């Protein structure tokens, strides 16, 4: 038998990028539900606010896109802020749309393929006042906004993400109370997930009406959940329950047009076959144990593997095998796969290089096995406002000083550059942590 090649290869034309989201980077967003939430004491860690964020609305996107292009990236995923484009139900802001047009042109001029997300966690205040995604009419409102955006930008954008992580939006906002509106109800959580699927489906059709050749999907967050004790039927049962409600509910509905509530199924034919690609956001794997006394949390407790390497502020464990499991799950939809997010918070950049290298190696392994993966977007290009965790978690390839707006390149940016430019990674990265990604980033020019 011949030895396997030393490198895992990525196809030419593979999208290598980073991902960002409007509220997290733009700054001065005053008209959405997060701007209101940030004013309430105790909602955001350390009382942080998005504030000026990375000042993209002030024009600093230019220098950051320069950074992305200069370090070998060829794509970028950003999001449009609904509350800017439609500040009131009967008002459209042509300047805001033009601002986005300039940004997208800025990407294209620098050789970065744009992928545009239409809803990334934030809602206009007027929409929240109407009940947000619990209002049956919201999918229609969303569709009207999406038509407006696709009509204005469709000549420049071919890759669209309708909704980012509908499961996270719903669970954090309506089950765990961490995102606005701070509700804790399983029934309402699933109602919101269903509303977002309806919105996604309406947006999918609206974009295809205007732009038949567009490629439209969602960014699906897959949280790999394993039974803590694989020999325990109850652990296996909870792991399956959590995984099917959290991971499967939205993308399956967007595949076969069926909403699977624990209390019964609802058909939604409009949602059937409404993904042209499977967008995958993956961060970590957790283990799940049955807990009879915790009905409120669906009879389970979750934790990281005891010997896993954990990111500096505990956001994720470095579980590259979980990423392979996520890609295998993604492949089961029979669609091209785009990795719409993957990354870790690490201000000191000691954990990230291994995480990045080992995860990209798993993507290479999957490609070698024939998985139809078309792109990888690292979260994120630079440090940005991390929702309820404020500025305490730093996900950027570039560090941001929020006082001075100064950017400082982390070593992981060099590592990622080498990967993007060479379209390959050493196979030995599949074997674990015994390598030096820093040396790899600098030991030879590609």
386 belongs to the binding site for ligand NOJ (CB under 6 A): yes
Out of 26, 276, 341, 414, the residue judged to bind ligand NOJ by CB under 6 A: 341
Q: Kindly state the smallest distance separating residue 389's Cβ from ligand NOJ, in Å.
A: 8
Q: Cβ closer to ligand NOJ: 167 or 238? A: 167
Q: Kindly state the smallest distance separating residue 426's Cβ from ligand NOJ, in Å.
A: 27
Out of 81, 165, 319, 417, the residue judged to bind ligand NOJ by CB under 6 A: 165
349 belongs to the binding site for ligand NOJ (CB under 6 A): no
Question: Residue 273 is encoded by which pair of tokens?
Answer: 């076959």
Q: Kindly state the smallest distance separating residue 421's Cβ from ligand NOJ, in Å.
A: 25
Site for ligand NOJ in 22-61 (CB under 6 A): 24
The label of the residue with tokens 């100064």 reads 406
Out of 164, 220, 275, 358, the residue judged to bind ligand NOJ by CB under 6 A: 164
Nearest to 138, CA basis, from 86, 175, 179, 183 = 86
Going residue by residue from 273 to 302, which x/- string records binding to ligand NOJ, judged by CB under 6 A? --------x---------------------
Q: Kindly state the smallest distance separating residue 120's Cβ from ligand NOJ, in Å.
A: 6
342 belongs to the binding site for ligand NOJ (CB under 6 A): no
21 belongs to the binding site for ligand NOJ (CB under 6 A): yes
162 belongs to the binding site for ligand NOJ (CB under 6 A): no
Q: Please count the CA atoms within 13 angstroms of the CA of 180 that sit on its side-chain side.
A: 22
User: What are the CA-CA distances from residue 407 to residues 127, 249, 336, 366 (Å)?
Assistant: 35, 39, 35, 34
b/e burial code for range 284-298 (CB count within 10 A of at least 16 → b): bbbbbbbbeeeeeeb
In whole angstroms, give the CA distance from residue 20 to residue 386. Answer: 11
Out of 174, 379, 429, 440, the residue judged to bind ligand NOJ by CB under 6 A: 379
Q: Kindly state the smallest distance separating residue 213's Cβ from ligand NOJ, in Å.
A: 27
Cis amide bond preceding 181, omega within 30? yes
State the residues that interact with ligand NOJ by CB under 6 A.
21, 24, 164-165, 281, 341, 379, 386, 395
């Amino acid at each position: 038998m011949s030895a396997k090649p030393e490198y895992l290869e990525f196809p030419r034309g593979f999208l290598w990028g980073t991902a960002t989201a409007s509220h997290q980077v733009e700054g001065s967003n005053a008209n959405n539900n997060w701007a209101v939430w940030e004013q309430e004491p105790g909602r955001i860690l350390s009382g942080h606010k998005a504030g000026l964020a990375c000042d993209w609305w002030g024009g600093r996107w230019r220098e950051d896109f320069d950074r992305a292009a200069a370090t070998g990236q060829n794509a970028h995923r950003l999001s449009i802020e609904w509350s800017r484009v439609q500040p009131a139900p009967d008002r459209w802001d042509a300047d805001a749309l033009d601002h986005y047009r300039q940004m997208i042109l800025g990407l294209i001029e620098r050789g970065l393929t744009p992928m545009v997300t239409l809803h990334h966690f934030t809602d206009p205040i007027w929409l929240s006042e109407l009940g947000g995604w619990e209002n049956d009419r919201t999918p229609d409102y969303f569709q009207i906004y999406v038509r407006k955006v696709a009509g204005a930008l469709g000549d420049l954008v071919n890759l669209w993400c309708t909704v980012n992580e509908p499961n996270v939006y719903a669970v954090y906002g309506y089950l765990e109370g961490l995102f606005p509106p701070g509700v804790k109800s399983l029934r309402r959580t699933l109602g919101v997930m269903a509303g977002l699927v309806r919105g996604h489906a309406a947006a999918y059709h609206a974009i295809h009406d205007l732009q038949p050749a567009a490629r439209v999907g969602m960014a699906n967050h897959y949280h790999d959940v394993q039974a803590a004790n694989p020999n325990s039927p109850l652990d296996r049962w909870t792991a399956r329950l959590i995984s099917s409600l959290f991971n499967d509910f939205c993308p399956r509905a967007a595949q076969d047009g069926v909403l699977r509530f624990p209390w019964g199924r609802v058909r939604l034919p409009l949602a059937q076959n409404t993904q042209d690609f499977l967008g995958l956001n993956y961060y970590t794997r957790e283990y799940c144990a049955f807990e009879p006394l915790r009905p409120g949390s669906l009879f389970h407790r979750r934790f990281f593997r005891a010997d896993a390497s954990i990111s500096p502020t505990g956001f994720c464990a470095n579980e590259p095998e979980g990423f392979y499991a996520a890609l295998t799950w993604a492949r089961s939809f029979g669609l091209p796969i785009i990795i719409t997010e993957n990354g870790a918070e690490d201000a000191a950049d000691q954990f990230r290089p291994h995480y990045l290298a080992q995860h990209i190696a798993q993507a290479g392994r999957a490609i070698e096995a024939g998985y139809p993966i078309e792109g990888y977007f690292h979260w994120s290009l630079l440090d940005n406002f991390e929702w309820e965790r404020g500025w305490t978690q730093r996900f950027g390839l570039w560090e941001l000083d929020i006082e001075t707006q100064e950017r400082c390149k982390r070593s992981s940016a060099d590592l990622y550059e080498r990967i993007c430019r060479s379209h390959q990674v050493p196979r030995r990265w599949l074997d674990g942590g015994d390598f030096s990604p820093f040396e790899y980033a600098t030991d030879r020019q590609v």
